[in-house]
Structure formats: structure tokens, C-alpha cells
Chain A
Amino acid sequence: MTKTLTKLESLEAQSVYILREAYREFKNLAMLWSIGKDSTVLLWLSRKAFFGHVPFPLVHIDTSFKIPEMIAYRDRLAKEWKLNMIFGQNKAALAEKRTFPDGKLDRIACCKTLKSEALKHTLAGDWPRYRLNHQTGQYDLDANKEPYTGVIVGVRADEEGSRSKERYFSPRDRNNEWDVGDQPPELWNQFKTDFAPGTHVRIHPLLDWTELNIWEYIEQEKIPVTKLYFDQGEGKRYRSLGCFPCTFPVESTAKNVQDIVQELKTGKFANIAERSGRAQDKEGGGGLEVLRVDGYM
């Protein structure tokens, strides 16, 4: 009797393996949860890996410009699944209105300020972290200021050119920078889990997944996702989620997960980049790569 795994089962097994490696090897481990479909699948895979538990904090960078449904969805799942939920924010920039919507920065500079910078300092622990208090339902200042040395991120290789060059375990130096030219080898499921003090490692369990795989898995596992991904009757839905001033919906009448899977299978979007509704990618020459070398996800 021969048993083999389906495509989704193999993807799941590999991601679970990577998550368990990360959990065993990194004492200060955190997962970035952007509230989007990918990192929500990642969160689900963590519950798979740890048999219903999520044994590390989830970090969200709140730019304050997120679509409001996203925050409501974040807090609902955080409470339901008893997550160790943390958010960080560039309070100074927001107070000084140094943002794109306030007209003081262009889109790329705004991303750098509200996301990359906030992320860097939240991970390092030198800016305040706010942690969900499950008793009160409010966010309190987190006492733990230790830097996270392992950061799990839901990037996929098929999303965008620069992401296709990532490793499962990808080191970042003291300045959060990514040296694309000198990455560690990965073979036979042995990864870079040893790292020098002061550096940290980004962990990418979803690297081999495609947009279709993500939706097929959401369908198979019945993972709750925010309704922003579905057409609410206006013939539009979000394909990729971000801040409202820079994120635009696509034309689609997909009303549920099954519809999206069907839609992707027709190849309707095959020739349109998934992040094409994200305005910052289009700025300058290779916007996302410029951002990523500097620590953006």
C-alpha cells in the first residue's frame, strides 16, 4: 500500500517542518502577521505545527492607515485563538504627520517610515510594543524589550521578482539589511539556524506557495479571512491588502473562497502582478526591492 501526499499536503509538511525548526532554534521568535491571506495561512500552519497552539508572539505593524476591517478582524481572531498579539507603530511620524496621505512624503518614503522603520524598531525592542491583554481586550505596553532574533514572515517566491531569491532562513545583518549576493546555502532541509550576536534571521515557510495554493488551502482548511477579499456586490475585491491610500481593488465578482479559486484557475490574473493594486511597488525603479533591501517584507 503506497501513500503519497497531495500538492497541498507536501507544501503544508514543508512549512510545518520549517516552523518547527524555527521554534526549536530561536529563543526570541516572533511571527509577522499582516492580517493578509498569506500570513493568516502562516498563522494557521503554526497551529498545525504546534497542535493547536501558537507558541510565539504575533507582531503587526499598524500604520494607522490600514483598512479598518483589517484591525477588527485581527483583534477578533487574536481573542478567539488566544494569540499573543503585539503591535508596533511609528508614533512620532504619525504625530508629525510625516506620511504620504498627509502630503509630506511620497509613497515609498511613507512605506519606509511607517512600515520599515516601525518594523525595525519594534523587532529590536527599542520602540514600544503593545500587547493584547486578554482580560481587558485592550492593548497594554509590553514589558518585554528583548530583540527578536528569529522573525517568521509570509513572503512567497511567486509574488514579485525580489522575493523569488529568498531563502527559507535568510540572515539580516545588524542594520536589518539583506545581502542578496551572499546568502547561505540550503540543502537537504538544513538551514541557517546559527547566527552571530546582533544579527537576526528571517524565516520564510511559505516560499514555495503560489497565490492559488494559498486560496486552495484556505478553502480546504476553511480558514477565516477578511471579507475585503470578496466582492461585496460592487464588482470589485482586494487581491492584496495594505493601507487604504495606496491599495486598490481589482475588478472581480468572486464572492467567496471557491469563486476566487475558480477565478485564479481561469488564468484571469495570470498576466497581472498580484501586487499591482499596491501603488508603492510602481514608484521609482523597482520600488519593492529598494524597500526590501532596507528591511521591508
Chain B
Amino acid sequence: MNKQRDQMNVVVVGHVDHGKSTLIGRLLADTGSLPQGKLEAVKANCARNAKPFEYAFLLDALKDEQAQGITIDTARCFFKSQKRDYIIIDAPGHIEFLKNMITGAARAQAALLVIDANEGIRENSKRHGYMMSFLGIKNLTVCVNKMDLVNYRQAIFDQIQREYSAFLKEINLVPQNFIPIAAREGDNVVELSAKMPWYKGASILRALDHFSKAAPKDEQELRFPIQDIYKFTEDGDDRRIFAGRIESGAVNVGDDVIFLPSQKYSRVQSIEAFNKNSESLAFAGQSAGVTLATQIYIKPGEIMVKKDQRQPHVSNKFKANIFWMGKQPFVKDKNYKLKLATQQAPVVLSDILGVLDASELSSIAGKSQVDRHDVAECVLETLKPIAFDDIFTIAETGRFVIVDNYEIVGGGIILAPVFEEETSLKKYIASREFNWERSQITPDTRAKKYEHKSALIVLTGPQGTGKVEIAKALEEDLFKDNRFAYFLGLSNELLLNPGQATDKTLSRLGNIQELGKVAHVLTDAGLILIASVSDIDDYELNMLKTLTLPRQTLVINVGENRFSHSQIDLQLPADQDPHASSQQIINVLIKSILIDPEYFI
């Protein structure tokens, strides 16, 4: 087997016109990495158009880019040193293209940050430095460029190094080195230049070769976010495979594992792979698949961890630093979608602790929203608990993005969980109760009149178990018995929140919330409300019950019971005659809401 060469992604960032593209052009040319004739062709083209040749032109592969004269997106090119292959990512310096710069930088294991010696540190020198810290890039070299314009004077280089080091220290970033260069002239790019004899450090290429890749993550605690669960039945395949990428740690066949946030546990039975010898171990970085010793039901998004290791936080509130890329500002009282590893959950901005002016690193107080390109410390609340780590413990499960209207509009790193009782649900209920004008007729009076208490009856369980038929049969049986019963389908258009209807994550919880609100009104009116919701999970059920309070919620599970800790009031088999099921439910009702013997037939 041939030895594969090592490979590293390097991003080049910095303020606009500080010479990023020139540096890259020079690296490509001086390491002999340009396609044959490319250099000559670009030079000839420049001569034809009577403009001076620049190394930056080499990168302008796309025509519309040349038309605008700026790098609009992250371009990639390749060069080699003796040590390894480099994929170099040229990120745009213009602030409007921050999201492109972030995309480029997020793929990098190392960064070259370019500062113009003549112009000095500018707004995006700082903003990009901050982003490197944010994105967790540890290999950073600061290139003080255009030394030729300042006559290669050491004093100017030293001044920038002092000033910029101080800035980086404030944001916990320690650069590997500062290198004075003149990219246009090739000074200190590949070879050290005689023009700066006072500089004793490495050239850019040498500095890159000294970078090491991130330490292997297999010795940390296991974090295996479940991306999907497969059961492909073709050719008699009966494996139920939990697939995902191991973000940290390692897992062995036989390990006891817990899934979070659901708290379900099992044991790893096998590690699955295609066209590979069977392994008993899977480790960080692998896109793996496992089967479990017991049959448990979980949804994609849960994080598999080892039972005997430190576990991630499970909470619905946390403090985070975020950066915002959305054209619309990040505002309170609006549902966004959060994606963390493979989890997705609705999220709201609960508090802004401070908005940072990235160029000055000073906090702007009293902002009520986070604007485009802002960096802010915030408290976020997900509408159901999620599992996460803080960024300092395990980065891969300590960072997230925010989606609004189909687009990724923000990114964030989690500083710490926030444990407090005040949730947006409780706030909503408090406000609802405060504003509720009570009638003269008490629930008791109503119950006596109607000969039953009111309640919400939820039929749940896997899809396709005949829940709706049972619900309708129950409504019919109760109705015939002169009970005030009403069946409400969740697919009812009235319940859908139009703005969120297209997003699975937001519309699911939105529907549950709406059902809870409607259930509260209709049970207050004395009704027995019957609803069918497939696969309601522990948290959704808890939300529904909380919204329906003080009235009772009865849970009827049809088919496989997939709850991990919720109590159910009745378990029914799938595919039973609906009226038989209905009768079993009525038997439960007799013990709970139809109890009063004085009025019950």
C-alpha cells in the first residue's frame, strides 16, 4: 500500500486589500503548483490590457469575480510542500461576505491572517481574528504584508505585532508566529528574504509545515450524535442500525450506552460497516453505525454517550456567544430553529447580555436585537430540552447554528447551561391566567350539569395503528351516551401556524402548542376533548399537559410504547376493533372523569 500524503486546509483571512490573494498567488507560483502556462497566460493578458501583472489575478478563476474586482466567495486551490499537500482557501475580506469567509474558515485547520504593514490593523483584521477564535482555529500565523512599502523596517513590524498580540490575548488566541512579508516580491513567503535580515523566524511555507493537526479526539468522552436510524429490509437485511459520526471518544461492542436527552439506555451489540472487516471498536472521526442489544425507540438527533462517563448537559436554556449573518436581525418572541450536531429544536432568544463591537471589542449595552454581523452574548431557550456540552469541554457538541426562513443565519458556541425555572411556557401560562376573565360558572357546576368532568384524551403511539378510528369511535360512543365529547384532528388547518408550516421541526412543536391552547379553552368549556397525535414524545406530552392544566390529560397509547418516562393511563393493542378500544377507554374514564356516582348512570 502506498503511503498517503498528509493534507491540511488553510484559510487566508484579513482586511480587504491587505494582500490575501497576492499571498496565495505567490505561494502557488513559488511552490510550482500552477497549471502549465497559467502564469504566462495571465501575464500576457495583463500586457494586452496594459495593466501591471499581479499575483492576485491568478486566483480570479471566475469571470464575474474579475468584473467586480473582489473575491466574492471562498475559492480553493492546492499546493504542496515537501511535508504535505495544502488546500488553500481564499476568504473574502469584504464585510458583506462574512458568511463566505466563515464557510471557508470553518473548513480550515490553520489560518494565515494578513495585515497590511502600511495601513496597519483595520476593522476586519480584528473581526477575522475574533472569528478564528470563535471557530476554534488554533493554528494561526499573522502575516504582516507589504513590508516593501515601509522599506522593510523592523519598527513597523514590531509595532503591529505588539498591538495585535494584545488584541488576540483578549480573545484567548495565541498565534504561532508573526511573519513580516512582501507577498508581491515573494519575501519570506517560501524562502527567507535577505531584505529583512533582522527577521530570524520561519518563512510562511515553513510555518505552515510546523502546524500540527488537531489532537485526536478518541480519548475524550464518547459523543455519538445519532444522524439517522436505518432498517433496510432488502435482501432480508434485518439490522436496525443507528448511524452517525462519532464526534469524540470511542465505542466498543458491549459498552453500556445512554441516549440523551431521552435517557433511554441499551448496550452496543455490533459495529456495522460495508466492505470492511468487522470491527469491535469505532472512534472519533468515523461515520459509523451500531446495532443495539435491546430494541429501543429513539429519534435522530439524540446523542449516544457511555453510561460510565461524564455526560453532556441536558437543559433547555444556555448562555452562548453568537454571531449573526441574517439580513433580518435576531429578535425576541420569535421561533427560530436550532441545529446542534444532529439535533434540531425550536429556539427563542430569551435575553441579550451584551452585543460586542468586534472591531473595538467593547460591549454595546442595551441593544434589544442582534443585527447583521454583530457578535453577542445571549441566553437562548429551546422549546424542548437538548443535550449539549460547553465549548470548552467538547467543541463538536458545544456549537450550533440558527436557521430562519430556510437559511443558516447565525452560529454560536455554548458557554454554560442555565438552570432556572422560568421558561417561556410558564411565562405564557402566567400571562394567560392573569388576563383570563373568569365566568360565574365554576368547573364544578359545569361538571354536575354535564354529568362528567372535562378532560383532554390524547391517543398516541406509532403511526398507522388506527388511533383516529378509535378516537372517532370514542367520540361516537360518548356522544350516544349524552356526553359532551368532541374529536379534534391535529391536521385541522386552523391549528397550523402558516408562517411555520413548512418547517418540520417548528411546525411539529407549533402544532402541539396550538393543540394545548385549544385544549385549555375547550376543557374549560366543560368538554371531553379527544385528539390523536402520532409519536408524541415525553417533552411534547409534558408541554401539552402543562397547557391543559388545571384540567386532566389522559394518555392512551396504541401499539408500541415508546415513552421513556411518561406515565400512560391505558395501553391498547394496534388493530383492535375501534369500538372495543373505545369501551376500554370508557372504563378508564369511569374511574377518573365520570366518577361521580350520584350523577353517573
Contacts and interface: CB of A to CB of B under 8 A. Distances in A.
A192 interface: yes
Size band of the B side of the interface? 35 or more
Nearest to A293: B64
A165 B71 CA distance: 11
A50 to B, nearest CB: 6
Nearest to B399: A188
A2 B248 CA distance: 12
B77 A164 contact: yes
Nearest to B407: A184
B197 to A, nearest CB: 35
Contact of A180 (B64, B76, B237, B273): B64
Given A5-B285, A24-B227, A187 B411 contact: yes
Interface in A5-43: 5-10, 12-14, 16-17, 20-21, 23-24
Interface in B376-420: 396, 399-401, 403, 406-408, 411
A197 interface: yes
Given A21-B227, A188-B399, A162 B61 contact: yes
Given A185-B102, A188-B106, A7 B216 contact: no
B432 to A, nearest CB: 31
Contacts of A52: 232, 237, 274
A62 interface: no
A266 B22 CA distance: 28
A8 B287 contact: no
Contact of A164 (B75, B244, B403): B75
B273 A23 contact: no
Given A53-B234, A184-B407, A185-B102, A162 B62 contact: yes
A220 to B, nearest CB: 8
B164 to A, nearest CB: 24
Interface in A183-214: 183-190, 192, 194-197, 208, 210
B35 interface: yes
A49 interface: yes
A20 B243 contact: yes
A271 B35 contact: yes
A157 interface: yes
A4 B135 CA distance: 22
A237 B5 CA distance: 26
A272 interface: yes
Main secondary structure of the interface of A (DSSP, over half): loop
Contact of A24 (B1, B232, B300): B300
A137 interface: no
Nearest to A188: B399
Given A3-B216, A190-B401, A51 B272 contact: yes
A96 interface: no
A53 B272 CA distance: 13
Contacts of B407: 184, 192, 194
Contacts of B281: 3
A24 B63 CA distance: 36
Contacts of A13: 245, 285-287
Contact of B250 (A3, A8, A161): A3
A103 interface: no
Contact of A157 (B5, B7, B76, B406): B76
Contacts of B411: 185, 187-188, 190
Contacts of A270: 35
A185 B35 contact: no
A4 B285 contact: yes
B274 A196 contact: no
A82 to B, nearest CB: 7
Contacts of B227: 17, 20-21, 24
Contacts of A286: 62-63
B4 A3 contact: no
Nearest to A10: B285
B53 interface: no
Contacts of B345: none
Contacts of B401: 187-188, 190
Interface string A151-179: 00000011001101101000000000000
A273 interface: yes
A82 B234 contact: yes
A47 interface: yes
Interface string A254-297: 00000001000100001111000000000001100100000000
Name, among A48, A187, A216, A261, the residue most crowded by chain B CB atoms within 10 Å (CB to CB): A187
B103 A187 contact: yes
Contact of A165 (B74, B300, B396, B408): B74
A181 interface: yes
A279 to B, nearest CB: 18
A69 interface: no
Contacts of B274: 47-48, 50-52
Contact of B72 (A181, A188, A195, A271): A181
B73 interface: yes
Given A13-B285, A221-B275, A185 B232 contact: no
Interface string B63-101: 110000000111111100000000100000000000110
B239 A20 contact: no
A289 B63 contact: yes
A184 B35 contact: no
A216 B219 CA distance: 29
A271 B78 CA distance: 12
A185 B285 contact: no
Contacts of A48: 273-275
Contacts of A55: 232
B468 interface: no
Given A187-B135, A190-B401, A17 B287 contact: yes
B176 interface: no
Nearest to B7: A7
A78 to B, nearest CB: 15
Contact of B408 (A9, A185, A285, A289): A185
Interface string B229-271: 0101011010101011100001000000000000000000000
Interface centre among A180, A194, A216 (most CB of B within 10 A): A194
Nearest to B502: A197
A49 B287 CA distance: 8
A181 B100 CA distance: 9
B429 to A, nearest CB: 30
A197 B501 CA distance: 12
B245 A17 contact: yes
A195 B406 contact: yes
Nearest to B283: A3
15 contacts: A3-B216, A21-B227, A24-B227, A48-B273, A48-B275, A49-B243, A167-B103, A180-B64, A183-B100, A184-B407, A185-B325, A186-B408, A188-B396, A221-B275, A272-B36
Interface of A: 2-10, 12-14, 16-17, 20-21, 23-24, 47-53, 55, 82, 157-158, 161-162, 164-165, 167, 180-181, 183-190, 192, 194-197, 208, 210, 216, 220-221, 261, 265, 270-273, 285-286, 289
Given A51-B272, A285-B63, A289-B62, 17 more contacts: A8-B4, A14-B287, A20-B287, A48-B275, A50-B232, A51-B237, A157-B87, A158-B78, A165-B62, A165-B75, A180-B64, A186-B107, A187-B102, A187-B106, A187-B135, A187-B411, A197-B502
The 6 closest A-B pairs by CB, nearest first: A161-B61, A271-B36, A187-B106, A185-B99, A16-B287, A194-B406
